[in-house]
Amino acid sequence: MGPDRTIALWKRLEGVLASGRWNPTQGVLFHDHGTYPLLAQRGQGGRMWDTSGGEFVDWMMGWGPVVLGYRHPAVETAIRDQLAEGPLLSLTHPLEIEVAERIRSMVPCAEGVAFGKNGSDALALGVRIARAHTGRELVLHYGYHGFHDWYMAGIAQCQGMPESLRSTIQPFTYNDAGDLERLLLENKGRVAAVVMEAARDQEPTPGYLQRVRDLTRDHGCILIFDEILTGFRVARGGAQECYGVVPDMAAVGKALSNGMPLSALCGRAEFLYTIARVGYGMTYRGETLSLAAAKATLDIIANEPVTDRLATIGEALRTAFQSSAVDHGIDARLTGPSARLAIWIDRHGRLSPLAQLSLLIQEFLKHGVLSNGSFLPCYAHDDRDLEQTRIAFDRGFETLARARQANTLVGFLTTPGIAIKYGDDEAMH
């Protein structure tokens, strides 16, 4: 282990691993050799070690799934025990029933459940059911929903998409019920589904989600909450429990199985039980190690104060971030639900929000704190992790205040490509 090994591995990666670099849509993670850790070695609790031996308080937690922390003993035992029975069998395994029952008991909309592997699978299934059920094609959406065509067709830069699909999806503005109403009226009788993250880097204003619920009902379209990140995280029953608005269907994943690959579409029985008509299936749907992990994870989330703890940690982060920012005269906040926070920062002179975010991420890393601009607490993050993060916030804002004064990132952002493409940002000239 060490920097030399990392560089050697990275050279090999560049020669063979097409998927090894982070997807460009994940913006802030453009990285070359520099401050940003390149390859992961292992995790424990709320910390991760890279192949150079660097140790980080990890606020990304595998992009959200590792809600209990790395290597939770009950989850590991469940996986080991199940391995002895076989990871994939030729018939539906009882674990599928057991996990489906747990999801039904926790998620308000879940009368029926269908498993997938990725969030993208569950959402693609939901949209297909909505289209089959309504006989309509158009989808209105808010948020990020994975890599399948129904969604990516709406991303102009995404190539390889049939042009005929481009007009089947349209975004709407969050927290603006008037915008959704306008789109529904302009497309009367054409909207199959409204697919949305109920909370992302903003939370819903009072009454907003209920208005969305009412509008979708009035227009005969199906409301699908994308709860891939919020499910089992912002509350045991996800955003629908937290904000008290129940959709027709919801996609869950990530926190469902503490890092093992599993997702599910859940929702009203009349929709879920039509999946035979929409051609849904995949070889690994019933893979038992992930189901065993999900059973153990859901039992812990149901019986221990996991979601309360995530909220407490998130609030501590929010307060620490804000007070460091204020101490250094900077208007910056952590926004969104406390268990799913994102950095908000305003433009300052020539420094765009993304430029300043890049610098903060770099400075946090120097103090052993890993974030891509989001903070996803896990049950295992402890006071030591919080204290280290508080120090990183303070040092980060100290440097940012100096960069703001100089009105440039030159001499401050030392890692080429850490977060912005230099050529694109005036602060790097």
Ligand X SMILES: Cc1ncc(COP(=O)(O)O)c(C=O)c1O
Using CB under 6 A as the criterion, which residues of the chain lie in contact with ligand X when the complex forms? 63, 118-120, 143-146, 197, 226, 228-229, 253
Cα–Cα distance measured from residue 271 to residue 113, given in angstroms and rounded to the nearest whole number: 10
* Residue 383 falls in which region: left (phi positive, over 0), alpha (psi -120 to 50) or beta: alpha
Q: CB-wise, 230 or 358, nearer to ligand X?
A: 230
**Measured between alpha carbons, how far apart are the two ends of the chain, in Å?**
36
Torsion of CA 100, 223, 283, 42, to 10 degrees: -80
Q: How far is the CB of 329 from ligand X (least distance, A)?
A: 33
Q: CB-wise, 119 or 204, nearer to ligand X?
A: 119
Cα–Cα distance measured from residue 21 to residue 17, given in angstroms and rounded to the nearest whole number: 8
Amino acid at 354: L
Helix, strand or coil, per DSSP, at residue 84 = coil
Tokens 């993670």, residue located:
29
364-392 burial, b if ≥16 CB within 10 A, otherwise e? bbebbbbbbbbbbbbbbbeeebbebbbbb
339-355 burial, b if ≥16 CB within 10 A, otherwise e? bbbbbbbeebebbbebb
Q: Which residues are CB-contacts of 157 (< 8 A; sequence separation ≥ 6)?
A: none
Q: CB-wise, 153 or 228, nearer to ligand X?
A: 228
State both tokens at 112: 């029926």
Cα–Cα distance measured from residue 341 to residue 345, given in angstroms and rounded to the nearest whole number: 13
DSSP 8-state symbol, 45: B
Q: CB-wise, 376 or 428, nearer to ligand X?
A: 376
* Per-residue CA distances from 230 to 29, 65, 365, 382 (Å): 22, 10, 26, 21
Q: CB-wise, 145 or 381, nearer to ligand X?
A: 145
Q: CB-wise, 145 or 219, nearer to ligand X?
A: 145
Residue 52 · residue 5 · CB < 8 Å: yes
State both tokens at 285: 């749907």
Residue nearest to ligand X (CB): 119
Q: How far is the CB of 182 from ligand X (least distance, A)?
A: 24
Q: CB-wise, 234 or 355, nearer to ligand X?
A: 234
Residue 342 · residue 354 · CB < 8 Å: no
DSSP 8-state symbol, 198: S
Q: CB-wise, 257 or 388, nearer to ligand X?
A: 257
Q: How far is the CB of 71 from ligand X (least distance, A)?
A: 21
Q: CB-wise, 54 or 259, nearer to ligand X?
A: 259
Cα-Cα-Cα-Cα dihedral sign, residues 278, 282, 288, 294: negative
Q: CB-wise, 146 or 204, nearer to ligand X?
A: 146
Task: Return the number of other C-beta atoms located less than 10 Å from residue 85's C-beta.
Answer: 12
Q: How far is the CB of 331 from ligand X (least distance, A)?
A: 27
Q: How far is the CB of 110 from ligand X (least distance, A)?
A: 17
Q: How far is the CB of 263 from ligand X (least distance, A)?
A: 6
